[in-house]
Amino acid sequence: MNVAQLLIKCLENEGVEYIFGVPGEENIDVMDALLDSSIEFITTRHETSAAFMAGTYGRLTGKPGVCLATLGPGATNLLTGVANANMDHCPLIAITGQAGLNRQHKISHQYYDLVDIYAPVTKWNAQIKTGEIVPEVVRKAYQLAMQEKPGATHIDLPEDVASMEVSAEPLPITGHSLPQADEKVIKEAADLLSKAENPLILAGNGITREQAANELQSLAEKANIPVVHSFMGKGALSWKHELSLLTAGLSGKDHITCGFQKADLIIPIGFDMAETPPQNWNPTGETPILHIDTEEAEIDAYYPVALNVVGNIKENLKQLTEAVPAKERNLDWAASIRKNVLADFEEHKQDEAFPLKPQKIIADLRNAMGDEDIVISDVGAHKMWMARMYHTSKPNTCLISNGLASMGVAVPGAIAAKMAAPDRNVVAVCGDGSFLMTGAELETAVRLNLPIIILLWRDDGYGLIEWHQLKKFERPSNIEFGNPDFIKLAQSFGMEALRVDQAQDLQKALDQAISINKPVLIDCPVDYSENMKLTDKLKNITCE
């Protein structure tokens, strides 16, 4: 067999189901090898979308998603999605075709050193220069992509190496485990918790990755500690639980700011600092941190670690729950915060204004979706509203990219989510700005007959940037653009399309979209004048 066939054989050995990508001249040997493989190649309309799909697949399954591109512009297009997955700690394997070894020493058509280019946005990468190393490279790429904290790895395959004959076999798969914290550390952590008058847990995405939501709930209930979530930690504790203070992450003042001010000990668990800087929620840098994660804390002046509890989050939370004494606390302050956040959610549920207020759109969406259904938010003003107000009961049911936070992630992500979870409803929440960055993947959804729903918030501009401009300069700058007729656009791809013409239409449209079990786009005008109204409202929050 040749090297490309061995590569595919090694990927089969790792249990790969799909490869997302775009064929190219320099990866034709890999494409040919896939014809005889159990792996299904998902042809996408852009390489960035392929990486977004692989990243979402990795986030939902815990197994690395695989994406493929050719050299040059194919590889540079792929790069953004790879960087997005790496910063969001989604396991991903990127494979790029490359110029032959015989022309890498000189200026050559479409040639850049991809190992150098990909190194800053991956955990590890390598070029295959001889066929015998393929089993080692693939096994190492998988092992490192999955190890905490997960992320992206990259394999570069020159076209002349891909066609070389080779005799080798895949390596056996070895599992990996995380150590537990020492008993002494657990006791010290329990002492910190018991001495704190007003501790507050900050639940991050690591809880979901380590499947530790039940253990989080047990600790919170026994020690009577309120829980606030990062954008990517949403659902670690159900929003219906009385200890849930819902979501933090807005850069300015919000109701949860009062909770952080009240806390005399903050306990980030599985928190990824790339999401939101500690300066946002510990602005004086004086509140001590009990850091519980798979790695020691990043050094940050606003993250003063009193104790690191490092290792297996699930097991460490079990041990800590056993060690900490049950404690009664006065949680009136937490109940007040929770009441205020939920009041914001309820305020415009019945609003009949048109275009629709963001709060109304979210209320209708929440009402249409089950607890297990998946919503993927793109990046834009809608993301801030979704993070703040779309409340969740289960982990990984509201996916928000908040590391690199690249626009365009939602439509490709929804395709991958539906492939990973075919029995669950999947909705991509997009702004009109982010949608058209990867909207060509509507064709992919139709071709694969995947009944995803695109909920398009239309405002004919870059709403989030305008929001920031108005806050700082009180005037917008160059944020408006034109739009196609989204109904006709979706129909031209073979999708169903529904237009919202009044506030009462959205709930009906969502219910209809779910019932017809086909790819559907819903065009929903949004009133983003609510952005600055929210900003002004939050300025007036007073903490008791």
Q: Does the pLDDT at position 251 exceed 80?
A: no
Question: Mean of the pLDDT values across residues 243-264?
Answer: 89
Task: Give the pLDDT score at 211.
Answer: 95
Report CA torsion sign: 291, 60, 464, 479.
positive
Q: Which amino acid is at 404?
A: L
Q: Which residues of 300-338 are buried (b: 16+ CB within 10 A; e: fewer)?
A: eebbbeebbbbbbbbbbbbbbbebbeeeeeebebbebbb
Which structure tokens are listed for 79?
A: 């790069």
For all residues of the chain together, what is the average pLDDT? 95
The single-letter DSSP state of residue 504 is T
DSSP class per residue in 445-496: HHHTT---EEEEEE-SB-HHHHHHHHHHHSS--S-B-----HHHHHHHTT-E
pTM for this model (two decimals): 0.96
DSSP class per residue in 96-156: EEE--GGGTTS--TT---HHHHHGGGSSEEEE--SGGGHHHHHHHHHHHHHSSSP-EEEEE
Q: Does the pLDDT at position 47 exceed 80?
A: yes
Domain 3-162 has CATH 3.90.1150.10: no
Question: Mean of the pLDDT values across residues 7-24?
Answer: 98
Same fold? 3-162, 183-336: yes
The candidate with the shortest Cα–Cα distance to 86, out of 401, 530, 412, 533, is: 401
Q: Does the pLDDT at position 252 exceed 80?
A: no
- As a CATH number, domain 348-539 is 3.40.50.970
Homologous superfamily of domain range 183-336: TPP-binding domain (3.40.50.1220)
Question: Mean of the pLDDT values across residues 368-373?
Answer: 97
Which structure tokens are listed for 121?
A: 């946005």
Task: Give the pLDDT score at 147.
Answer: 94
- CA–CA dist 491, 485 (Å, integer): 10
The single-letter DSSP state of residue 356 is B
Q: Which residue has the tokens 């606390």?
A: 329
- CA–CA dist 185, 454 (Å, integer): 47
Whether residue 337 contacts residue 245, with contact meaning beta carbons closer than 8 Å, is answered with yes
Question: Mean of the pLDDT values across residues 8-34?
Answer: 97
CA distances from 363 to 249, 346, 389, 454 (A): 20, 8, 8, 16
Kindly report, residue by residue over 282-293, the tens digit of the pLDDT: 999 999 999 999
With a pLDDT cut of 70, the percent of the chain lying above it is 100
Q: Does the pLDDT at position 229 exceed 80?
A: yes
Kindly report, residue by residue over 87-108, the tens digit of the pLDDT: 999 999 999 999 887 888 888 8
Whether residue 490 contacts residue 518, with contact meaning beta carbons closer than 8 Å, is answered with no
Residues 6+ apart with CB under 8 A from 393: 235, 238, 239, 240, 371
CA distances from 60 to 54, 451, 476 (A): 10, 18, 38
Task: Give the pLDDT score at 538.
Answer: 85
- SS (HEC) of 159-211: HHHHCCECCCCCCCCCCCCCCCCCHHHHHHHHHHHHHCCCEEEEECHHHHHCC
DSSP class per residue in 14-33: TT--EEEE---GGGHHHHHH
Backbone phi, then psi, for 217, in 5-degree steps?
A: -60, -40
Cβ burial, residue 1 (10 Å; 0-12/13-18/19+): middle
- CA–CA dist 405, 232 (Å, integer): 11
Whether residue 196 contacts residue 265, with contact meaning beta carbons closer than 8 Å, is answered with yes
What residue spans define the domains of the chain? Answer: 3-162, 183-336, 348-539
Question: Mean of the pLDDT values across residues 237-254?
Answer: 89
Task: Give the pLDDT score at 541.
Answer: 85
The single-letter DSSP state of residue 379 is S
Kindly report, residue by residue over 497-506, the tens digit of the pLDDT: 999 999 999 9
Whether the bond between 226 and the residue before it is cis, its omega within 30 degrees of 0, is no
Task: Give the pLDDT score at 109.
Answer: 81
Kindly report, residue by residue over 109-165, the tens digit of the pLDDT: 888 999 999 999 999 999 999 999 999 999 999 999 999 999 999 999 999 999 999
Question: Mean of the pLDDT values across residues 271-275?
Answer: 90
Question: Mean of the pLDDT values across residues 434-457?
Answer: 98
Q: Does the pLDDT at position 274 exceed 90?
A: no
Ramachandran assignment for 271, one of left (phi > 0), alpha (psi -120 to 50 degrees), beta (any other): beta
Question: Mean of the pLDDT values across residues 274-284?
Answer: 91
The candidate with the shortest Cα–Cα distance to 411, out of 3, 24, 44, is: 44
Backbone phi, then psi, for 356, in 5-degree steps?
A: -75, 145
Q: Does the pLDDT at position 250 exceed 80?
A: no
Q: Does the pLDDT at position 46 exceed 90?
A: yes
